[in-house]
Structure 1
């Protein structure tokens, strides 16, 4: 009994790779020994290999079995050591899967994909943003970066990286250089607005240094810090408190319009704002406006210019970015992505 326990303890200390090699060697050697002991029983080495595998797996179909005394003694040996070895291997496999799951939940597994969205700093606004992203595109991969020790949002398309988002090593683990965009939310755990924006600015500068081509959107707490974010070339920034204030004012001045604004900033309900590609037959804004209108969409802007309805006769520039308001089905049809 003491020998068996010592044998088990020694096996448990071995690395997974070495255990795999020993298991394969043990099975092949036992197959050769079984065939050497009773060649007439097995006829071929493959049959002896099959018998060893079914015996170690405790299946025991009975189509092959040892008939001689040496063969039966070898079978007893295989029971004692083979079944234990296979159980150890199965235990190691289960342990490996458990470790992978634990590492994923604790944010220690690097992300290997591309064209994903990186969401930095977890809070209620980040939670809403992730749900909005999933609603907009169920196939979109999202990587969350935060300093929490556990996965904050459990979803098959959401990956988590635990660490300081201002460090390049953390951003590299999130596959930032291959990302489609990065969204930085203000870390409101600090009461000092300057410190909050300072951390956001540090993260933005790290992103700019590591992946300057990635579109970056940052949440800013104070308007006086905007110039600093422009200096590090943040593509877009949102003033946290101003966004809510502006919606409240619009609601107060124009009763019943808040639902319209909510539809434009969320893809979960009603019509939404979409970017459409320019078609060759569209020479002027008027051409695009009429064509889109016939398809059920309303052209409202070229980039941030909402006044194109006053210059419909002007030619559409080569670098135009046209935005329309329509429902998801109409957008898919216009963009040629409709599922037939």
Structure 2
């Protein structure tokens, strides 16, 4: 009796043991019932069906033992099988609950590839995630922050809790296989120099682990951009200066904020897209006129906005052509 008590005590603790023992009981019971009552259970599956319905419910009554030996063994299934099966189901529910809790707390590793990593939770990060989901619903997003639980729930958003400058945390987010990272400045730090210093530490850690990743960084002071150049950051967003300049522009050019809104959001009107050079486009004029016929306007090659001044010049092979058009026009071009 002591041995049985010790066995069942260990069984309750060991999840794998519970599932293994449950599987063993079901298979052995199916074999025993098939041997004891071959006429009642003409096939092995019939015996398995009877055992499964007995240990998980009260049975359907389509099969039932008629011999004394069969009924005695059925009593064993009632007493032992139902208890073990119930324990296994309980452990399964417990495991699923624990997994969900770990996911909400950002304790699970992300295994996907080609995802977008966002570092630092704020209202800006919230809107960025919303914009990504709106424009690329198939893209996985990994959010890294130090909150106790995930601040956002979406099937494509995966939360990682921890210090974003830590290598282990970045590896947990699978930064090595990410295609792009967006680092937001820490709004809880009032000193702009300290905030930019923390951002620099984070993006340096990211670039060290994945030199091919496309990085976009929010910076509070424009004078600090030169420090980020050494970290091979691809894009910079000046949080305070950009908003201030846009506000001044709108004060002198009324209605210009509508243009900003359309260009900055895929949800509003015309949008900014990048297109590849086509074979028939030899000069910028060819591209400009060809795109215009399709309903798109060519505005730049990379950061060069002087397209109108060099329409007759040949297009570079590595040109990055940016156009303004509707989403429908862009899709027809691609």
Which TM bucket (shorter chain)? over 0.9
Describe how 1:310-329 pairs up with structure 2 within 5 A.
310-329=309-328
| Matched residue SS, 1:314 | coil
Counterpart in 2 of 1:338?
A: none
Pairing 1:72–2:49 present = no
Greater mean deviation of Cα atoms: 194-203 or 270-279: 194-203
Counterpart in 1 of 2:125?
A: 126
Work out the CA distance in 2 between the residues paired with 1:270 and 1:135: 14
Change (3 A) 1:62 1:7: farther
Work out the CA distance in 1 between the residues paired with 2:62 and 2:229: 77
Cα drift, residue 103 of structure 1: 1.3
Work out the CA distance in 2 between the residues paired with 1:125 and 1:64: 62
Describe how 1:2-81 pairs up with structure 2 within 5 A.
9-14=9-14, 16-81=15-80
Work out the CA distance in 2 between the residues paired with 1:168 and 1:10: 38
Pairing 1:97–2:92 present = no
The TM-score normalised by the length of structure 1 is 0.93
Q: Output one character per residue of 1:179-208: Cα deviation in whole Å (capped at 9) or x when no partner.
A: 111000001112222221111010011011
Cα drift, residue 325 of structure 1: 0.1
Cα drift, residue 73 of structure 1: 1.8
May I ask how many residue pairs the two structures share in their alignment?
333
| Matched residue SS, 2:159 | strand
Work out the CA distance in 2 between the residues paired with 1:173 and 1:221: 28
Work out the CA distance in 1 between the residues paired with 2:45 and 2:134: 54
Describe how 1:59-208 pairs up with structure 2 within 5 A.
59-208=58-207
Change (3 A) 1:294 1:146: same
Greater mean deviation of Cα atoms: 81-90 or 274-283: 81-90
Counterpart in 1 of 2:297?
A: 298
Counterpart in 1 of 2:287?
A: 288
Work out the CA distance in 2 between the residues paired with 1:65 and 1:135: 57
Work out the CA distance in 2 between the residues paired with 1:43 and 1:226: 79
CA RMSD of aligned residues (A): 1.9
Describe how 1:187-336 pairs up with structure 2 within 5 A.
187-335=186-334
Structure 1 gaps, min length 5: 336-340
Cα drift, residue 3 of structure 1: 11
Work out the CA distance in 2 between the residues paired with 1:53 and 1:160: 39
Work out the CA distance in 1 between the residues paired with 2:278 and 2:223: 41
Work out the CA distance in 2 between the residues paired with 1:99 and 1:307: 57
Work out the CA distance in 2 between the residues paired with 1:88 and 1:164: 39
Cα drift, residue 4 of structure 1: 10
Work out the CA distance in 2 between the residues paired with 1:80 and 1:331: 67
Q: Output one character per residue of 1:226-250: Cα deviation in whole Å (capped at 9) or x when no partner.
A: 1111111111111210110111011
| Matched residue SS, 2:39 | helix
Q: Output one character per residue of 1:278-323: Cα deviation in whole Å (capped at 9) or x when no partner.
A: 1000000110011100000000100011110121111101111000
| Matched residue SS, 2:129 | helix
**Is 2:11–2:17's contact at 8 Å kept on the other side of the alignment?**
no
Work out the CA distance in 1 between the residues paired with 2:248 and 2:326: 27
Structure 2 gaps, min length 5: none
Q: Output one character per residue of 1:22-42: Cα deviation in whole Å (capped at 9) or x when no partner.
A: 111111111222233333332
Work out the CA distance in 2 between the residues paired with 1:167 and 1:80: 53
Cα drift, residue 67 of structure 1: 1.6
**Is 2:144–2:161's contact at 8 Å kept on the other side of the alignment?**
yes
Work out the CA distance in 1 between the residues paired with 2:133 and 2:220: 26
